[in-house]
Chain A
Amino acid sequence: GAGVSQSPRYKVAKRGQDVALRCDPISGHVSLFWYQQALGQGPEFLTYFQNEAQLDKSGLPSDRFFAERPEGSVSTLKIQRTQQEDSAVYLCASSLTPAGETQYFGPGTRLLVL
């Protein structure tokens, strides 16, 4: 594919609503990462997949956050019962192999929780 794509690009949710954010990594990339980026700050790691296996979810801020990559390609980040503090840009990145490879980032999904 041309690059990492994410959808939707913008999402406005009412507090308490569930949201699902989609990431389409570069075809054939083994590794997939999710990051959260608050306004004016650097991206912060949320979770990592190697193919379909979620090997690290230490960055997920609460049990309201859930990510999956069932077939080792497309991934979905789900946030249940959204809160205002969840407002941020959610970035997805993929890399060809688990180690030593450049991560390619998507454009992000900007989530605003009202």
Chain B
Amino acid sequence: GESVGLHLPTLSVQEGDNSIINCAYSNSASDYFIWYKQESGKGPQFIIDIRSNMDKRQGQRVTVLLNKTVKHLSLQIAATQPGDSAVYFCAENGKTSYDKVIFGPGTSLSVIP
């Protein structure tokens, strides 16, 4: 099989700077999107979600932006901290009768102290 995905896209930011992680999703019919954070050796952890009737949603230090026209999501992290270092996945629901989640390939965020 293919070996794609062994080298995750990596974003390196200085501590205190803002981070922006981008994601393109595939299904124009998806109406619910989630960002997950995964630290080494742990399962994915929910960060923030957004429904398709919104363009922007803010949480604590995080903001998610949704552009349905170009099927693009972004996660903005304000004042990035060393504890933010992890792999970030965007995910979309799979339009079934239950919340089947389809994950994107992930971006590795590295915070430089």
Contacts and interface: CB of A to CB of B under 8 A. Distances in A.
Given A31-B98, A43-B44, 19 more contacts: A4-B43, A31-B99, A39-B6, A40-B6, A41-B105, A48-B100, A50-B98, A91-B43, A91-B44, A95-B99, A98-B97, A99-B99, A100-B32, A100-B99, A103-B99, A103-B101, A105-B43, A108-B42, A108-B43
Interface of B: 1, 5-8, 32, 34, 41-46, 49, 89, 91, 94, 96-106
A40 B94 CA distance: 22
Interface of A: 4, 31, 33, 38-45, 48, 50, 55-56, 85, 91, 93, 95, 98-108
Contact of A38 (B5, B7, B32, B94): B5
A20 B102 CA distance: 25
Nearest to B93: A99
